A and B are shown apart, each in its own frame.
Chain A
């Protein structure tokens, strides 16, 4: 048996202290709020799991959660294949490659609220290029402030525009890392373009795609600024997602208890999905299962 050196605990103390103040104490405060009804500076009542049951039973919140799930699914379904496709057709070297990388990187540099504002103006029928083009040139009635479908369409388009480049850059880097010999061997073996994609490129991209899916899921699941700037959560509450709902609850109405309970649920949902994605993708990683003979 290896001797255990307890001095190692001492080495990780600085990190533990930092984590204590940045993560553990704030999280415990939230836990504290979530089980009490705070009536005033000195008056508080322990309510147990009441806030949790209340929040989970709230039909408005259930709808926001459903909306959030649909939105994140749409984001993943559009951005991952689109990003991968773009990375595959991007030029590999020369001036064109540099130009494409710079152009793709640009949306990533723009702050969230600016992105919201850009699309807010772009989509307007009176002064916005996009809105004017849709309504006047194409003759398709389009108004994201009034029609829920138009609001969703604009919001998805905005997110795709803003974040697909991230997926492209990740996939592009992954593709560049595949040694030429793999392509040459595939050509020698007579593999079709599809086979090269299916058996060479896709397996080699597993790692970056896992990262891309996790990042895009987590980011889109906590989306806040863009819908707030673009539609303010409307029309009605059709683009009110979880973050905005939570903010309204905690700061707008100052319902700290339910907001805390909901924050914890929110956190657990993200953790759960991230874990699910990660395990599902890592489980297929051949490196972890060297002798998966049963799959033959």
Chain B
């Protein structure tokens, strides 16, 4: 168990990187507390797997230091680093029994036979593998194999963190939530640091206490699921998280308002003061756009293009000049395509972005 510090880490796969595009992982500085559940969330190519491989030691970062509890492990190889990893596809040792698979990491580290048996039995019980211990590991189903892979990470008592590299990819959808719940339970019982890589926001948001959102090699925001939802620090975070993502509308600042096309979104003076001249982006989540005046809100007129009834709510797709806007509304409100609609944007939920980053 350890606190993990990524101190000014950056990585490039080419020898002499100069421009940002040369880096697979832009410089970042993060600290992860002992016992936390973290998720690295981002589309493919966002650098999350590179970051994971840096943690496990499969990749040595070209810049910066990696510290476990203030001990520099940057140059320590995977074998001697206290890290466990679960891969996308279940990795098991075909010729061994389930018991031998689980005992393998301990035997390699010279743990005594009785201690090994005790620990393996304990972990097998958590993972519901007790009944399979004497079976050959190779004939089992994908989800059982993936539980064995997890088990090999969990048996070690000395690990600083267990890394999961999209571990539910090959698992049957019906079993996915079971395994995910199992992971949560493990996290509670063993209080081990878990770092989970995924491109699936539902997986990340349900699993992790804190989510690190990445895109094109850069860490855009780290925060609780709530923070990512309510206060995205970057347009990418706003757009990537949420279903559908945040409405992002290009606007120009003009006196006491933001101009979206020809319409004025009046803003309080302190927000105008913090904003910048020129092109900006106004962001608001579809959940916060209101069809009734909630008080302290800016008014917009939009024309409805399409309505998706989704049971619990309906999703209204509307157009404002050249800009599209999505609105989540109560299912009983009657709205039809072609209708002009007045919508309110509550001041508290309006975000202004410049160059993609949150300004006010």
Contacts and interface: CB of A to CB of B under 8 A. Distances in A.
A290 B138 contact: yes
Nearest to B91: A185
Contacts of B93: 199-200, 203
A293 B135 contact: yes
Taking residues whose C-beta sits less than 8 angstroms from the other chain, chain B's interface range is: 20 to 34
Interface string B68-106: 000000000111100111011101011111010000110
Contacts of B133: 296
B156 to A, nearest CB: 9
B5 interface: no
Contact of A295 (B57, B88, B136, B149): B136
B144 to A, nearest CB: 11
A187 B152 contact: no
Nearest to A188: B85
A188 B93 CA distance: 13
B58 interface: yes
A275 interface: no
A179 interface: yes
Contacts of A184: 56, 58, 78, 85, 87
Interface residues of A, number: 25
B139 interface: yes
A191 B139 contact: no
B104 A203 contact: no
A178 B235 CA distance: 41
Given A286-B94, A296-B99, A188 B139 contact: no
A40 interface: no
Interface in B122-157: 133-136, 138-140, 149, 152-153
Contacts of A189: 104-105, 108, 152
A292 to B, nearest CB: 5
User: 6 tightest CB-CB pairs across the interface, nearest first?
Assistant: A290-B139, A286-B138, A296-B134, A190-B108, A185-B91, A187-B78
Interface of A: 179, 181-182, 184-185, 187-192, 195, 199-200, 203-204, 286-287, 289-293, 295-296
13 contacts: A181-B87, A184-B87, A187-B57, A187-B78, A188-B79, A189-B108, A195-B108, A199-B104, A286-B136, A290-B135, A291-B136, A296-B99, A296-B135
